[in-house]
Amino acid sequence: MDSVFAAIVQAPEDPILGVTVAYNKDQSPVKLNLGVGAYRTEEGKPLVLNVVRKAEQLLVNDQSRVKEYLPILGLAEFNKLSAKLILGDDSPAIQENRVATAQCLSGTGSLRVGAEFLAKHYHERTIYIPQPSWGNHLKVFTMAGLSVKTYGYYDPTTLGLNFQGLLEDLGAAPAGAVVLLHACAHNPTGVDPTVEQWEQIRQLIRSKGLLPFFDSAYQGFASDGGECFIAQSYAKNMGLYGERVGALSIVCKAADVAGRVESQLKLVIRPMYSNPPIHGASIASTILKNSDMYNEWKIELKAMADRIISMRKQLFDALTAKGTPGDWSHIVKQIGMFTFTGLNSDQVAFMTKEYHIYMTSDGRISMAGLSSSTVPHLADAIHAAVTRAS
């Protein structure tokens, strides 16, 4: 009997998560996973923050805790604390009740709910995303019903920001169009605008009435009185990847608008998954509201960031010492978990095949997946890829 599902074709593996699938299949003892942006310790292990374990112990010990459905918009305390974290304690938008916040499933979920809301309620259904951007952005916005255009961002000749292109493309966007901005640590390039450039971007966006949608947020924008969407994730900064903790905040011009926006967000969420998961948000909330734990968190976060910066330096030094052709200073200039190496897909394929280095084909590597002991192997691989006869 032929299956009812005969017409369904095999979907390709997700390009980013598929890297881990391929890595897992590899038996080589020197294999290195530089694919997905998940932090690893110097020993190459995933890390659960001490402060997260502490928070969980508190939660388990609390006999009064129940597992009742959260409200559709999530844990109220978490939402308030999240909004404060991203907008600042003294944010006028918060004080004036102009922020509608919904706990969502990490960054992806926040982006999707925000996009669905825009597709339903906003007159401009085009969103501009930087070229390049996180691979999943295109799918998230398209599935939500928005049409996606790109604006210039990365300059492959300088391995830096194409600022002129960015200004031109956003300048040409129709008034009111939505613009996706990576607040800091651009994924995949690690190339961020400077403070002065951010200010220029902000002025351009406000003068054209464009609607900024931040994948994480930049302080300047949120306090200039204008409206914006912010998708927050606690996957990386609290190491809560699998718990799916995040929030969507919509900063509105007026409190009554924020109230109505909130009510409409519920209608997007209810038919998608009814209400969000409690565990991760409770952990985040516990940490954010306790000043000792909050400080502990900041220290552990800094340690993770410092280790990544150290990996950058070590890789740069290794390539310099080997005399690998090319300017590798972008490795130390770029910011965040990722480095856009500038390697092309052929070189990447070579590195995977010959050196068992797993990374996305756009040349992005996750610095968080490196350690002092594995940097030499990566440097060898890059050197070989760049110097081999093509």
Q: Which of residues 32-91 bind another protein (CB under 8 A)?
A: 36, 38, 45-48, 52-53, 56-57, 60, 65-72
Residue 114 as a binder of another protein (CB under 8 A): the answer is no
Closest contact distance (angstroms) between CB of 225 and another protein is: 9
Residue 142 as a binder of another protein (CB under 8 A): the answer is yes
- In the residue annotation, 215 being an active-site residue is answered as yes
Quote the DSSP letter at residue 65. -
Residue 177 as a binder of another protein (CB under 8 A): the answer is no
Cis peptide before 46 (omega within 30 of 0): no
Q: What burial class does residue 310 get, using C-beta atoms within 10 Å of its C-beta: 0-12 exposed, 13-18 middle, 19+ buried?
A: middle
- In the residue annotation, 26 being an active-site residue is answered as no
| Cβ-proximal residues to 203 (8 Å cutoff; 6+ apart), any chain | none
| Distance, CA of 338 to CA of 382 (rounded, Å) | 16
CA–CA distances in Å: residue 321 to residues 18, 47, 328: 33, 31, 11
Cβ closer to another protein: 271 or 323? Answer: 271
Q: Which listed residue (33, 101, 103, 108) binds another protein by CB under 8 A?
A: 108
Residue-wise burial string across 162-187, b where 16 or more C-beta atoms lie within 10 A, e elsewhere = bbeebbebbeebeeebbbbbbbebbb
Cβ closer to another protein: 21 or 349? Answer: 21
| Catalytic residue from among 215, 297, 328, 380 | 215
Quick check: helix, strand or coil at residue 230?
A: strand
Segment near another protein (CB under 8 A); pick from 104-112, 288-296, 332-340, 350-358: 104-112
Cβ closer to another protein: 55 or 375? Answer: 55
288-307 positions binding another protein, by CB under 8 A: none
| Distance, CA of 253 to CA of 257 (rounded, Å) | 7
Residue 92 as a binder of another protein (CB under 8 A): the answer is no
Q: Which listed residue (84, 122, 224, 310) binds another protein by CB under 8 A?
A: 122
- What does 341-383 look like in DSSP terms, one character per residue? ----HHHHHHHHHHH-EE--TTSEEEGGG--TTTHHHHHHHHH
Segment near another protein (CB under 8 A); pick from 87-95, 259-267, 293-301, 348-356: 259-267
Closest contact distance (angstroms) between CB of 370 and another protein is: 17
| Distance, CA of 296 to CA of 294 (rounded, Å) | 5
Residue 107's Cβ-side half-sphere holds a number of Cα atoms within 13 Å equal to 20
Count of residues touching another protein (by CB under 8 A):
90
Q: Which listed residue (9, 25, 28, 90) binds another protein by CB under 8 A?
A: 9
Q: Which listed residue (30, 50, 120, 219) binds another protein by CB under 8 A?
A: 120
Report the catalytic residues: 134, 215, 236
